[in-house]
Structures are given as C-alpha cells and as structure tokens.
Amino acid sequence: MRPVRMSLPVVGAVVGVLTLSGCSLGQLDVHAGAGAVTRASTASITLTPASSAPITPTTSLVVMAVSGRLTDVVVTGPGGAVPGALSVDGHTWTASAGILDYGAAYKVAAHAVDRSGLPTELSQVIRTIAPSKFLAYTVSPRDGGAVGIGMPIRVTLDHKLASNQAKAAFEKAATVTVDGDRVTGGWRWLTDDVVVYRPETYWPGHATITLTTSLKGVTFTKGLWGKGTTTTSFQTGAAMVSFVDMVSDTLTVTEDGKKIRTIPITTGKPGFETRSGVKVIMDKELTRIMDASTGGTLKTDPEYYRLEVKYAMRLTYSGEFLHAAPWSVAHQGHSNVSHGCTGMSTSNAAWLYNHSNIGDVVVYSGNSRAMESGNGITIWNSSWKTWKKYSKASSV
C-alpha cells in the first residue's frame, strides 16, 4: 500500500504579512481557507499609580509590561514630553523624578508586545493635585551676601508650622552644604515660623554656604504644600574671632587662626558687668547716639549718660557694643569703667571696625555674668550635644 501524504498550512508566512491598525491592537486574524482564528496578545500594560485620584507631583510614575516588553512609552503634559528611562529588559519605564507639575494633566500612551509579537496598548490620563496654599519663606543671610563665620542661617516662614511633624518635614527637605559638601549641623525653632541653622562648629572662612530646600510634594498642614526647589547661597569672609579677657582688659584679634592684633580695652564696671560668653557682631554703625535711658537708667540717676560714639558694633539686644571710647583711654588695659560696652581708643576702634564683618565672633571671659539665651546671636553658647536635641526631625 502506498503511504498517504498530508500537507500542513504554513502559518508563519501569514504572520509575516500582518497589518496592525489602531482599533485592532491586541488581536491577530489568521485566514486559513473559509475559517478565521482570532488570538489576543498575552501581554498587558500596567500604570503605577493605578488610582484615578489626583497624585502629588513627586509620585513615582511607572509603566510596566506584564508577560511582554514595552516598545514605546510617551507621556505628555503642559510642558511637552515627560522624560523617562526604559529598563534594559524592556519591562519597565520610569519617569524622571520631580518632573511633574501641580494642577496638571498628563496623557500616558504605551505599547507592548508579547513573545509572539502580538501588540497591546494602554492610554490613560493622570492628574496632579492643585493646592490652594504654598509655603514660602525668606532667608538671612541674603542670597549673595557676605558674613562672618558665626552667622547662622535664619529662615522666616510665611505660615506657622505648629506641629513637630510639620517642622520635621521642613528640616528633612532642607540641605546645607559648604563649598558643595554636606555639613554637620542642626536646626532650632525659635517660634512656629522662625527656624535657625548652625553647623557643629563655626563656618570655615572664605567659603560658600548653600541652603537648598526641595519642597515640591511636601505637605505641612491640611491644604499647605511646598512648591519647588529653592537655593540660597552666601559667602564667609576671613575667619575672624576675637577674644576679650575682662581680667587683663585686652582684646586679641585672630584672622584665619593667626593673631593679628592685641587691643587695650575696658569693659563693664561693678553693677554693669559685661556678659561672658560667645557673641556675634549683629550690626555696624559709624556713628551712634547712646542713651542710658534705653537700658532703664533714669535721667536723674548719676549713672545716666547720652553721648555720641563712633565705630559702634552691636553684640547684644540689651545694648552691649564694641566702640570707640576716647574718654576712657587712661583706663583701657588696666580697669573696667564702662556701663557694659567694650571701649577702646578711636584709632583701635576704627581699625577693628574696618576689619570686621557682621557675623564675626567675639568670645568674652573673665566674670561670672553669663549671656542670656536670645540676647543677640547666642547659638554658640549651646554645646553641640545640646543643640542637636533641638531638631524636630530627630524627635518624630
């Protein structure tokens, strides 16, 4: 008996000439004689986040092919195409971080194929939240400013942050660098809308300090959000630190670690003692009227005075200054006769004034009267161990 031969249809040849249209993606029509076979793609596409609710602009946007690989992903919004990266295996596409805006709609169009080359697609619109309030702030020192090495960063917010969680959220979103490198430092909240930052030790001299806050997507209170990334930079001058010895009545000036001048001075007499501790120059005035009544001295009191002084540099809110005191030159370097200020000859005061910046450090020693917290820039009178405890980010 002769063997019977059977012929099999060559399916591969039909697949090779497949034409896809937008309305038929995900199916394959194979015509074999009078019958028709329809096959769906085994691949599917997922979008994260999957919820239709508005998302924050920092939400990670991920498109993934399941049982297949992505062939293209296009995300478009108000600013045009959103950049992203496709994984090496073609399974995952991830949008670049921080690209999305508030109050915007983004169209996601993605295509994928399964192992047989059968296509599928995803088309979806996602929206971002549209807050009604954003947190804003001002910074001191100002952007581009120049200060001494003892000047802290002071941030004043336009909304109060009452909770520790909200304060911690601000701290965590803020980064401080010195010449581009992260620095060890910490925040302390003076009020619900004022916070200061200091490094572990003084800033280095001749450096650039930068505060960067990345607030986009950060929620502080109901309806109050951070808007974006803001950068503020300022510079330090020479590392000027002066040391006042109220026993020897001398002021020793150092610059970048080297002693450059010793000045005879006089400080507060008994009953008007000058405070010990670390002080920072807060303001400079070529000429200032000093009136004892601002400190509570009556005009009928023998200790009352009103006089004009030159080269005045404020150290405390209560009225301690460095300034010229030509009337007490005979006592300078020998005894303390002032009402709390640090007096020196006019020539020495002029030299110190011209060599000093707001933010320079002056360290006082020699008596038991200590600086009161908040009576000026008093941050350096707290040890680093104590200062670290003030941070809200470390307590929530």
CATH topology of domain 240-365: L,D-transpeptidase catalytic domain-like (2.40.440)
Are 133-237 and 240-365 the same fold in CATH? no
3-state helix, strand, coil in the chain (%, to 5): 10, 45, 45
- Among candidate residues 383, 337, 54, 50, the one with its CA nearest the CA of residue 186: 383
Both tokens assigned to 135:
């947190």
Return the number of other C-beta atoms located less than 10 Å from residue 284's C-beta.
Answer: 18
CA angle (149 as vertex; 148, 151 as ends), nearest 5: 75
Do the bridges between strand 146-147 and strand 229-236 make them parallel or antiparallel, or are there none, so unpaired?
Answer: parallel
pLDDT confidence of residue 36: 54
The HSE-up count of residue 40 (CA atoms within 13 Å, CB side) is 5
Decide if 149 contacts 361 (C-beta within 8 A): yes
d(CA 19, CA 27) in angstroms, rounded, equals 11
83 upstream amide cis, omega within 30 of 0: no
All structural domains of the chain with their residue ranges: 40-127, 133-237, 240-365
Please determine, looking at this structure, whether the domain spanning 40-127 carries the CATH number 2.60.40.3780. yes
49 upstream amide cis, omega within 30 of 0: yes
How does DSSP assign 375-395, residue by residue? SSS-GGGS-HHHHHTT-STTT
Q: What is the pLDDT of residues 232-274, one digit of tens each?
A: 999 999 999 999 999 999 999 999 999 999 999 999 999 999 9
Q: Which residues in the chain come in under a pLDDT of 50?
A: 1-34
- DSSP 8-state assignment for residue 360: -
Return the number of other C-beta atoms located less than 10 Å from residue 355's C-beta.
Answer: 16
Q: Name the CATH architecture for the domain at 133-237.
A: Sandwich (2.60)
Structural element, H or E, at residue 166: helix 164-173
**99: phi then psi, degrees, rounded to nearest 5:** -85, -35
- DSSP 8-state assignment for residue 328: G
pLDDT confidence of residue 291: 82
Per residue in 305-324, is it b (16+ CB within 10 Å) or e — as a string? eeeebbbbbbbbeebbbbbb
